[in-house]
Amino acid sequence: MIDDAGKNLVSEMKKRPAMVDASRRKIHEALDELAVEIHKLVTVSGKPNRLALRPYS
């Protein structure tokens, strides 16, 4: 009975790092996609887009 409870507890605890890793992976992918979009906005055919690089006013 105690062994079963311990096994169940350890099993649940081992799931947590996998959930954290999955969340980190999703965030990393989203940030990578955002970086690509930003790069597209500030470049035109591989060259810096001067209008996009002007400070916001």
Residue 13 lies in a domain: no
In this predicted structure, the answer to whether residue 57 has a pLDDT above a threshold of 60 is no
Residue 15 lies in a domain: no
Residue 20 lies in a domain: no
Residue 48 lies in a domain: yes
In this predicted structure, the answer to whether residue 55 has a pLDDT above a threshold of 90 is no
The predicted structure's pLDDT at residue 52: 59
Residue 7 lies in a domain: no
- Whether 53 and 42 have beta carbons less than 8 Å apart is answered as yes
pLDDT in tens, 1-41: 889 989 999 999 999 999 999 999 999 999 999 998 888 87
Query: 40 lies in which domain range?
Result: 26-57
The predicted structure's pLDDT at residue 14: 92
Q: Mark out the alpha helices in 1-57 (DSSP H runs).
A: 2-42, 50-53
Residue 36 lies in a domain: yes
- Tell me the C-alpha distance between 54 and 34, whole Å: 20
Residue 17 lies in a domain: no
E strands of 2-44, at which residues? 43-44
Task: Count how many domains the chain has.
Answer: 1
Residue 11 lies in a domain: no
- Whether 32 and 24 have beta carbons less than 8 Å apart is answered as no
